[in-house]
Homo-oligomer: A and B are copies of this chain.
Amino acid sequence: MKSETYRNTKQRSRILEILCHTDSHPTASWLYDQMKPEFPSLSLGTVYRNLGILEEQGLLKKLRSGSTFDRYDANTYPHAHFCCTECGSIYDMRDVEIPDMVQTVNKQTPHNVLEINLSYMGICEECLKKK
């Protein structure tokens, strides 16, 4: 499942760099489009495989709540999201302390809670303006 050693490739480090410099929670194909000019022979499968590797290295998180395609987040500190059901955009939220919630909930269940996915769904500020 996991490889023994990881190598540094231009493609992988650029994927992580792009993710670290945006707060837009990109999709795999958006990353592909961004990188295609710089890597003309880039394969979409390479983007997906590297996203998977970066995830198992703990350098990013895959977001699957929301639409039909996954989004990726290099902000690994536990935080809530706002997902706009109109335009699909995702915003970071910092008003709830997720780590505290994990502690609290673990005392209330027989299960072992490891992390929390918290998403607020609704209409974003931009989409509200357009009405």
Residue numbers of A with Cβ under 8 A of B are 64-66, 82, 84-85, 91, 93, 95-96, 102, 105, 108-125, 128
Contact = CB atoms under 8 A, between A and B. Distances in A.
Contacts of A125: 110-111
A91 B113 CA distance: 12
11 contacts: A64-B66, A65-B117, A85-B114, A105-B120, A111-B122, A111-B128, A112-B122, A112-B124, A116-B119, A116-B120, A118-B119
A64 B5 CA distance: 33
Contacts of A84: 111
A91 B111 CA distance: 10
A118 B98 CA distance: 11
